[in-house]
Amino acid sequence: MPDFSATKAQFTLPKGVIYLDGNSLGPLPKAAGANMARVLQEEWGQMLITGWNKAGWMDQPTRTGDRIARLIGAQPGHVVMGDTLSIKVYQALASALALNPDRRVILSDSGNFPSDLYMAQGLIATLGQGHELRVVAPEEVADNITPEVAATLLTEVDYRTGRMHDMRALTRRAHDMGVITVWDLAHTAGATQVDLAGCDADFAVGCTYKYLNGGPGAPAFIYVNPRHAEAALPALSGWLGHEAPFAFDLAYRPGAGIERMRVGTPPVLALAALEAALDIWDMTDMAQVRAQSLALTDRFIAGIEATCPMLELATPRAHAERGSQVSFRFAEGYAAMQALIARGVIGDFRAPDIMRFGFTPLFIDAADVDAAVAIITDVMQNALWDRPEYKTRAKVT
Ligand SMILES: *Cc1c(COP(=O)(O)O)cnc(C)c1O
């Protein structure tokens, strides 16, 4: 088993906490504060406006994108940072539809994260061209990729159950049917091994505050297959995606390749935090991360199933169908999760009944898994969750 103690040492992990929610918000890299302070003091403080050139702020979105490219199986030059994932979903989907102008169906599945579906609904209303959002069960996606479909909008790993689509097979089927693919990697990037270039995925988007540990509100990324890079129209045609932003032309002309997917001014400070997280990622190899993730999730499933028969596994057992999280169904899942959090095991709850635990090899090891299993066993076997204070729902679950 590869040793991740070196990466674990790079994170701030509060005492008494087993953090199984890095799939929602990764922990703080110890170096992030110093890197942000350096950008604040030495760059913003001393360079002022000249930082855009002298400190390379203007190239930061592509420079950072290249470092993420390595983690998602893309070549450098095809990933750019900016905005939030919802915005990038909109942009990628709009580009995909424009590449398939004679078709009107967007295919997604009922396991998708609602924001992706909402963005598709908003885009359809804005376009006013009679597009239809067709939402089918996840296991019915393949059969519904037909010549009617303009684009698929699929999240590779289901945020609730951790079920993973077969990106390679679905992309191949889509291309056989003349369909453009948009893949959401929110629960993939930093979690599983993905090969965007090898799968010939058309568009991909993802966030960096989950498994990538970029911090709350860290910017999103977008990937465009080099095949489409000069043809894709970004829909959100901001000045920094213009061919020559500082020519201040009155008419929009898309920039070269991935640059056109930029919209406005980059979030320099947020990217400084993300850069510290990427320094940790530079110590890793995604094949090893994936192997360790599967070992941890196998260990967790075996441990819980041996002691907690009241919890029903919602995550696929097959490695090829599993992301880096394990979910169990339990009717009182919200209260049970609050009881766990009170005892230092932090996971989260997703309505209606999913208790979700994320496994992130960079800072979770086998000893953490065993300690979490012991606490969960105690809470479940003794119904320690059955108290009024665990049943009142907070705003963020
Ligand atoms: C987390 C997540 C989002 C969140 O989008 P933001 O714009 O970053 O808030 C969107 N889609 C999926 C699939 C997610 O998992």
Mean pLDDT calculated for residue range 318-347? 98
Looking at the domain covering 5-30+285-390, what would its CATH class be?
alpha beta
C-beta 186 within 6 A of ligand 1: yes
Distance in angstroms (rounded) separating the CA atoms of residues 94 and 115: 15
- Report how far residue 92's alpha carbon sits from residue 94's, in angstroms, rounded to the nearest whole number: 5
Q: Is 83 in the pocket of ligand 1 (CB under 6 A)?
A: no
Query: What residue's CA is closest to ligand 1, atom 8?
Result: 85
CB 221 less than 6 A from any atom of ligand 1: no
CB 153 within 8 A of CB 144: no
**Residues 364-373 pLDDT 10s:** 999 999 999 9
> Could you tell me if the CB of 209 is within 6 A of ligand 1?
no
Quick one: what percent of the chain has pLDDT higher than 70? Answer: 99
Round the average pLDDT of the chain to a whole number and report it. 97
Q: What is the pLDDT of residue 5?
A: 96
Q: How far is it, in rounded angstroms, from Cα 133 to Cα 131?
A: 7
- Angstrom CA distances, 275 to 148, 213, 217, 367, stand at 42, 10, 14, 29
CB contact burial 344-377 (16+ within 10 A = b; e otherwise): ebbbbbbeebbbbbbbbbbbbbeebbeebbebbe
pLDDT at 378 over 70: yes
**Range list for CATH 3.90.1150.10 in the chain:** 5-30+285-390
pLDDT class of 3 with cuts at 50, 70, 90: confident
pLDDT digits (tens, 9 = 90+) for 148-172: 999 999 999 999 999 999 999 999 9
159 alpha carbon – ligand 1 mean position (Å): 9
Contacts of 238 (CB under 8 A, 6+ apart): 262, 263, 264
Decide: 118 in ligand 1 pocket, CB within 6 A.
no
Strands (E), the chain: 11-12, 18-19, 28-29, 79-81, 105-109, 132-136, 149-155, 180-184, 203-206, 221-224, 312-313, 325-329, 345-346, 348-350, 354-358
For ligand 1, whether the C-beta of 86 sits within 6 Å is yes
- d(C-alpha 279, C-alpha 286), whole Å: 14
Cα–Cα dist 293/304, whole Å: 17
Q: How far is the CA of 119 from the centre of ligand 1 (A)?
A: 11
- Spatial separation of the C-alpha atoms in residues 152 and 142, rounded to whole Å: 10
The string of pLDDT tens digits covering residues 24-42 is: 999 999 999 999 999 999 9
pLDDT band at 361 (very low <50, low <70, confident <90, very high): very high
Query: Where do the DSSP E strands lie in 3-119?
Result: 11-12, 18-19, 28-29, 79-81, 105-109
b (16+ CB within 10 A) / e for 173-212: bbbeeebbbbbbbbbbbbbbbbebbebbbbbbbbbbbbbb
User: Which ligand 1 atom lies nearest to the CA of residue 210?
Assistant: 1
Per-residue confidence (pLDDT) for residue 1, from 0 to 100? 57
Distance from the CA of 306 to the center of ligand 1, in angstroms? Answer: 34
User: Of the given ranges (2-6, 13-17, 79-83), which has the lowest mean pLDDT?
Assistant: 2-6
Mutate to test the pocket of ligand 1, among 116, 160, 222, 325 (most ligand atoms within 8 A of CB): 116
Question: Which residues of the chain are in CATH 3.40.640.10 domains?
Answer: 32-281
- CATH number at 32-281: 3.40.640.10
pLDDT > 90 in the chain, percent: 97
Cβ-proximal residues to 101 (8 Å cutoff; 6+ apart), any chain: none
Please name the amino acid found at residue 312.
Answer: E
Cβ of 207 closer than 6 Å to ligand 1, yes or no, is yes
Q: Tell me the CA–centroid distance for residue 207 and ligand 1, in Å.
A: 7
CB distance 123 to 132 below 8 Å: no
- Expressed in angstroms and rounded, the spacing between residue 171 Cα and the centre of ligand 1 is 21
Residue nearest to atom 2 of ligand 1 (CA): 186
Please say whether the beta carbons of 182 and 188 come within 8 A.
no
